[in-house]
Chains A and B, each alone.
Chain A
């Protein structure tokens, strides 16, 4: 047999080392997921076992940074799940419109595509001028790319199709300037986005907001960590505030599911009770 269960112990020691040395806490992440990412990095880096990797991670900061990128999933797209964004526009924005100013927290924004999607919707609904959009992630490299707002031209076809399916009102190409290989998102979209480093596992409440989007982040966490982060969200939302989760995420593993009503069950949109 190639692997045995000592690898489980070695992975947990590796995660402990990353936490002790760099403060990034993956100890309550899904084990199968972490194992897969760690084994891939091991194969790519030519290391022979996880203990070796542990020593390298402690002594080699650039290697640690690479591993951090492996463990932080930045897969995203503009208007990912168009039906969700359609529901957001139809069911959530009418509620947000009633507030004189609107604070939105996009938690785990990765490279920012969904934050820009949100900015576009707010602009089209005439709400952007009174909106502050906090877009946070714990991965500094992803956050840097999000802030730049430069994306490969090759993705625009898919993004445009998503935008249209999501009920977009304009021509999607009016939101960016295109050069040969890349597009740059309009400055007017960035104006009210506050990009910030925030770690859901180790950081706490930083603002009281009307809407939280955190989609396909919690699936990577175990039940205890999910519960902890849900408490953070609950404490960050105003009464009547809205929580949007990924299409396979729920409030099942929290003590808080009685504290929300379902605004759109299928699209996983919840409203905090008054």
Chain B
């Protein structure tokens, strides 16, 4: 199976988790990664720059209509929902909050599932609400690969546990195992 993109949903405890993942992904990691991290509406997303400086990966806030490129990492801007169009470009909206969140993981995941069908990997990491559960379910319905962080290893286990209960994801893994799996998939994709 070859995949075209990875979406990640993460909430409380997310900065540490993302730090672990992106400090351990190789420079030549080529699958695009699109992330919703719940942040306050007035956040300046400064953490992106901090993580960027540390990892040398190409990480940026997603812009409206921006084309999704390989080897790039995109973060949803604060106070906007991030959606993916069929032509693999981004749309931003200011629609009502979903699961008390804007950006919402469900909104990203559902639109990503429709755009990438079974060529998508969806990952739910640490967090303390149920956002992402419906989205991961949609990814599974389209035949994409679904992964949840093992709640016992998550800083906040509620969000992955909610997804696991509703979706029965393909993999339930700790962060180190998720990294290994992603590297393996990325490797087999391009060889």
Residue numbers of A with Cβ under 8 A of B are 1-3, 8, 30-33, 35-37, 73, 75, 216, 219-220, 223, 246, 248-249, 252-253
Closest partner residue, chain A, to B85 (CB atom): A32
Closest partner residue, chain A, to B93 (CB atom): A33
Shortest B90–chain A CB gap in Å is 9
Interface string of B65-97 (1 = CB under 8 A from A): 100000000000100100111100001111110
Closest partner residue, chain B, to A226 (CB atom): B65
Number of interface residues of B (CB under 8 A): 24
User: Known contacts A33-B83, A73-B93, A219-B64; is A248 also within 8 Å of B110 by CB?
Assistant: no
- CB distance B65 to A32 under 8 Å? no
Residues of A within 8 A of B110 (CB): 36
Closest partner residue, chain A, to B138 (CB atom): A2
Residue pairs across A and B with CB atoms within 8 Å: the count is 59
Residues of B within 8 A of A75 (CB): 94-96
Cβ-neighbour of B65 out of A73, A216, A253 (below 8 A): A253
Q: Is B107 interfacial (CB-CB < 8 Å)?
A: yes
- CB distance A73 to B83 under 8 Å? no
Q: Is B155 interfacial (CB-CB < 8 Å)?
A: no
> Which secondary structure characterizes the binding site on chain A?
loop
Residues of B within 8 A of A37 (CB): 95
- CB distance B114 to A32 under 8 Å? yes
A selection of 28 A-B contacts at a CB cut-off of 8 Å is: A1-B117, A1-B142, A2-B141, A8-B86, A30-B93, A31-B85, A32-B85, A32-B111, A33-B83, A33-B91, A33-B93, A35-B114, A36-B107, A37-B95, A73-B93, A73-B95, A75-B95, A75-B96, A216-B94, A219-B93, A219-B94, A220-B91, A248-B63, A248-B64, A248-B77, A248-B92, A249-B64, A253-B65
User: Known contacts A1-B143, A30-B91, A248-B80; is A36 also within 8 Å of B64 by CB?
Assistant: no
Q: Is B173 interfacial (CB-CB < 8 Å)?
A: no
Shortest A162–chain B CB gap in Å is 10
Closest partner residue, chain B, to A4 (CB atom): B117
Residues of B within 8 A of A73 (CB): 93-95
Residues of B within 8 A of A3 (CB): 114, 142
Bound CA span A19–B80, Å: 28
Interface string of B107-151 (1 = CB under 8 A from A): 100110011010000000000000000000000011100000000
Q: Which 8 A-B pairs have the closest CB atoms?
A: A32-B83, A30-B91, A32-B111, A216-B94, A219-B92, A32-B85, A75-B94, A219-B64
Shortest A5–chain B CB gap in Å is 9
Bound CA span A31–B93, Å: 12
Cβ-neighbour of B141 out of A1, A8, A219, A246 (below 8 A): A1
Given contacts A1-B117, A32-B85, A33-B93, 14 further A-B contacts (CB under 8 A): A1-B142, A2-B141, A33-B95, A36-B83, A36-B110, A75-B95, A75-B96, A216-B94, A219-B91, A219-B92, A219-B94, A223-B65, A248-B64, A248-B77
Bound CA span A220–B83, Å: 11
Residues of A within 8 A of B86 (CB): 8, 31-32
Closest partner residue, chain B, to A29 (CB atom): B91
Bound CA span A3–B94, Å: 25
Residues of A within 8 A of B117 (CB): 1
User: Known contacts A73-B95, A248-B77; is A32 also within 8 Å of B64 by CB?
Assistant: no
